[in-house]
């Protein structure tokens, strides 16, 4: 058997994360024990939530343990199995395959997938956790009605890509927020957003006002910071806000202040933070709908791919700074 390679969390960040917080390893893979499955990871998903797990603060999930492989969703292939439910050659996805080439897995943590009609890596992107996150936020929290205006920040990211398409299919007018003209053009021309506003532009506030002349009924928030505050100020009565992420504050940048809560009262807003794992009963319906759309070419997405496990730290840190375009992946094969 070849050596396993990957990265452990070597130290917790003091401020912004750096490559020195990770340590590369090479070691024997070992054999899967009774009831276990050995998976060769083909794709590693890099996601903003990983930054929060690196800290030792109270959160919705346990912190990443030091000197253990970094947490991460993976898509790969079974190479050895002691479980009756899996055989060599099965394509599988896992939420905890980690930053490594191989993982010995509990079968309960694996999901078989069929990559005959869509590429395998889609199952850690629009047909995986990010896609289900978008589906839950739109359908369970924002619940857009035909003709309403829905705004999504990080509109061309792994989650925002799907948010706009789901909301548009429900008859909403969709407004994306993204960083730079290229991303905004992609949001409109490929993803179907009615308009996209560049949060890096000097006249962002004016662009946002022009894009939402009738106000905002639903907001899917991934970023936080000033764009979030300015969008909140444009919310209509009884608007709904789904808080999925606040990536702008993960690396010590400006946080969103909600000290002035009058708008929540005056507009009678509903704001809900959510974690997609709290909606496990919705996953089959969400995945069924998303896979159906993707297999017929009706769901669009984009990927940024780094090559080789050695590139994982730099790709991850770049993603936190918005250098990725669409879903950030690492190709491991």
pLDDT for 246-277, tens place per residue?
Answer: 877 666 555 555 556 788 999 999 999 999 99
Say whether both 234 and 253 belong to one domain: yes
CA distances from 196 to 185, 186, 275, 316 (A): 8, 9, 26, 25
**In Å, how far are 9, 49, 208, 314, 317 from 20, measured between CA atoms?**
9, 19, 39, 11, 11
CATH number of the domain at 192, please: 3.40.50.720
In a domain, 297, yes or no: no
Residues 133 and 47 reside in one and the same domain:
no
Q: HSE (CB half, 13 Å, CA atoms) of 17? A: 26
- Under the banding of pLDDT at 50, 70 and 90, the label for residue 60 is confident
Domain end: 277, 293, 315, which one?
277
293, part of any domain: no
Same domain, 245 and 138: yes
Q: Is the model's pTM score more than 0.75?
A: yes
220 and 246 co-located in one domain = yes
Q: Is 290 within a domain?
A: no
Residue 128: pLDDT over 90: yes
Tens digits of residue pLDDT in 134-160: 999 999 999 999 999 999 999 999 999
267 shares a domain with 157: yes
Tokens representing 251 are: 């690396």
125 contacts 151 by C-beta, under 8 angstroms = no
Residues 317 and 187 in one domain: no
Residue 116 lies in a domain: yes
**CA-closest candidate to residue 277, choices 244, 240, 241, 320:** 244
**Domain contains 70:** yes
- Structural domain including 316 reads 4-125+302-331
Tokens found for residue 92: 């599988």
| 325 & 310 share domain | yes
CATH number where 34 lies: 3.90.180.10
Between 225-232 and 204-211, two packed helices, what is the crossing angle to 10 degrees?
40
Q: Which two tokens stand for residue 309?
A: 């496990």
Task: Give tens-digit pLDDT for 177-208.
Answer: 999 999 999 999 999 999 999 999 999 999 99
Question: Is residue 227 pLDDT above 60, yes or no?
Answer: yes
Same domain assignment for residues 181 and 162: yes
């Amino acid at each position: 058997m070849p050596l396993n390679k990957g990265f452990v969390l070597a130290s917790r960040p003091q401020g912004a994360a750096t490559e020195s917080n990770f340590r590369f390893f090479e070691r024997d893979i070992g054999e899967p024990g009774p009831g276990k499955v050995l998976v060769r990871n083909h794709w590693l998903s890099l996601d903003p939530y990983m930054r929060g797990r690196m800290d030792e603060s109270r959160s919705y999930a346990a912190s990443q343990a030091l000197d253990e492989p970094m947490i991460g969703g993976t898509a790969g292939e079974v190479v050895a199995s002691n479980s009756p439910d899996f055989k060599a050659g099965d394509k599988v996805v896992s939420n905890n395959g980690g930053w490594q080439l191989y993982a010995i897995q509990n079968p309960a943590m694996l999901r078989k997938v069929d990559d005959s009609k869509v590429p395998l890596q889609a199952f850690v992107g629009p047909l995986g956790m990010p896609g289900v996150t978008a589906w839950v936020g739109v359908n369970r929290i924002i619940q857009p009605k035909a003709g309403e205006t829905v705004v999504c920040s990080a509109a061309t990211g792994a989650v925002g890509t799907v948010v706009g398409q789901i909301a548009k299919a429900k008859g909403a007018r969709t407004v994306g927020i993204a960083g730079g003209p290229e991303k905004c053009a992609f949001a409109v021309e490929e993803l179907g957003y009615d308009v996209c506003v560049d949060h890096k532009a000097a006249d962002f506030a004016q662009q946002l006002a022009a894009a939402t002349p009738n106000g905002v009924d639903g907001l899917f928030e991934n970023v936080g910071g000033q764009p979030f505050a300015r969008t909140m100020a444009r919310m209509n009565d009884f608007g709904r806000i789904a808080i999925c992420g606040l990536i702008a504050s993960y690396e010590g940048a400006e946080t969103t202040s909600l000290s002035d809560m009058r708008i929540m009262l005056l507009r009678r807003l509903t704001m809900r933070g959510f974690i997609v794992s709290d909606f496990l009963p919705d996953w089959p319906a969400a995945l069924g709908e998303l896979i159906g759309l993707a297999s017929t070419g009706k769901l669009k997405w984009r990927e940024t791919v780094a090559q080789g496990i050695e590139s994982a730290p730099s790709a991850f840190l770049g993603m936190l700074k918005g250098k990725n375009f669409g879903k950030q992946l690492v190709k491991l094969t």
